[in-house]
Amino acid sequence: MTHFMALAMCWGLYKMRRDVGRLRWGSFEAAKSYGITVLVDVEGGKDLVPVTIWDGHKKNIFEIAAYCKEKIDKARKGKDERHNKTTGMAAFIPSFIA
């Protein structure tokens, strides 16, 4: 179900591309690529892995599913350096700040 919702969100974002961008020095600059981030549960709720899908409107459902599976498998095995660095820093943050 996550893959279907991700594809629908990608298409919705693409259809509203006129309004997607950033304000830079007082003028609107349209985005050149569009991405959504899906948080995926890993290890039964212990951790959430962010998976960012760029230009998903150009992909089909099978490509999105394969990409998400690849990123999740890397995180489960501990081979996703970016995720490890992010979660490693969270261990030093006191709980009342988080």
Q: Which pairs from 71-74 meet CB under 8 Å and 24+ separation?
A: 71/40, 72/40, 72/42
Q: Give the model confidence (pLDDT) of 51-73 as tens digits.
A: 889 988 899 999 999 988 888 88
Q: Give the model confidence (pLDDT) of 14-44 as tens digits.
A: 888 888 888 989 898 888 888 888 887 777 7
Residue 97: is its pLDDT beyond 60? yes
Predicted pLDDT of residue 88: 61
Residue 98: is its pLDDT beyond 60? no
Pick the CATH number of 2-90 from 3.40.50.300, 3.60.20.10, 3.30.559.10, 3.40.1180.10: 3.30.559.10
Predicted pLDDT of residue 76: 74
Q: How many CB atoms lie within 10 A of CB 74?
A: 16
Residue 91: is its pLDDT beyond 60? yes
**Distance from the Cα of residue 42 to its chain's centroid:** 14
The pTM for the full model equals 0.68
Task: With H, G, I as helix, E, B as strand and everything else as coil, classify residue 25.
Answer: coil
- Compare 1 and 8 and report the one with higher pLDDT: 8
Mode of pairing for the β-strands spanning 35-42 and 27-30 = unpaired
Predicted pLDDT of residue 44: 73
Q: Which pairs from 93-97 meet CB under 8 Å and 24+ separation?
A: none
